Amino acid sequence: MDMSIYQNIWFFIIGFLLTVYSILDGFDLGIASLMPLLAKNEKEQKHVMDSIWPVWDGNEVWLITGGAALFAAFPFAYATVFSGFYLALMLVLFSLIFRAVSMEFWYYDEKRRKLWAWAFTIGSLLPSLLFGVALGNIIYGIPIDLNMNFTGSFFTLLRPFPLIIGLLGLSAILLQGCTWAAYKIEGDVAQRARNMINIIIIASAILFILAIVLTIGLLPSIVSNLFGWLGALLYAVALSYVYVYNKGNRPFNVFIGSSGSFLSLWIMAGAALYPNLVSSTIEAYNLTIFNASSTLTTLKIMFIIALIGMPVVLAYTIYVYKVFKGKVS
């Protein structure tokens, strides 16, 4: 296979890794972000914690793998994004650290459980928003010079389109968290989650329509992309599926529908970007899969490693979820 084929393969592999991460870590970020609304006492907080305790750290493996794959396959894009979004990514990193620490301390530091519960929520809510804002900036475009350096500031990232995409991504994560709570937890927590699902669906639909309008107005070059509209159709179908099965109290189907909505959002993002990895406000300086990739030898070796490693990680993930299936008691 020639160079361009490997470059395309790695574009889709990284997309796959980030999609799986969004679906899996999305529900534990979402349920944690909503814990003050879902759990009214320490017993219910423990149910929320227990529902993600066996799997949350395994879910984050997919983010680490996706970041490592981006670094190895497309180092120029990795360098531009991680330097340009440095402050935002440091906020994400420290939030994820405090999130992990707060879970441990919540169980053992009984005197300060309220503090650790809020640290758990804030440490989950902040990344849930910033992930989407970062993706919105990558799609909309950031100022990149001839040397592939980001020339803007932190406030450059806070534009209307990326913020709307950030809120849309946040709504998807909150929906994923609610559907997981309804699926894994019994009693009042599950009922509150089912009630919230309908509210989040309405908010998601409004944000989605607003994102479409802004895309048509600000990014007319991607409006004619057929795969983007296919993703939009799938998203609308997935939200409808979630609404119908939530009304029928079918929590597993609701969770599958929410996961499908995440998949459709990534289809739209991939369609909007391809073949770009990072769009530039100066079109000539877009970072693409062709001008930002590693050498052919690196892409080949990584592909062999991926063929061996990814099935192992998938098998392990499936095994863990099988072992810990069923509702939290």
Token digits for 162? 């990326």
Peptide bond into 275 cis (omega under 30): yes
pTM assigned to the model: 0.95
Of the pLDDT bands very low, low, confident and very high (cuts 50, 70, 90), residue 105 is: very high
Residue 193: what pLDDT?
97
AA identity, residue 65: T
Cα 103 to Cα 3, 21, 32, 107, 119: the distances in Å are 45, 20, 10, 7, 9
The pLDDT tens digits of the residues spanning 269-287 come to 999 999 999 999 887 789 9
Residues of the chain with pLDDT > 70: what percent? 100
Phi, psi of 324 (to 5 degrees): -100, 30
CATH of domain 3-323: 1.20.1630.10
Report pLDDT for 284: 76
Q: Does the pLDDT of residue 329 top 80, yes or no?
A: no
| C-alpha to C-alpha distance for 308 and 208, rounded to whole angstroms | 38
Tens digit of pLDDT for each residue in 7-62?
Answer: 999 999 999 999 999 999 999 999 999 999 999 999 999 999 999 999 999 999 99
Asked whether the beta carbons of 84 and 142 are under 8 A apart, the reply is yes
Residues sharing a CB contact under 8 Å with residue 196, sequence separation 6 or more, in sequence order = 34, 37, 38, 174, 178
pLDDT at 280: 92
What radius of gyration do the chain's Cα atoms show?
20
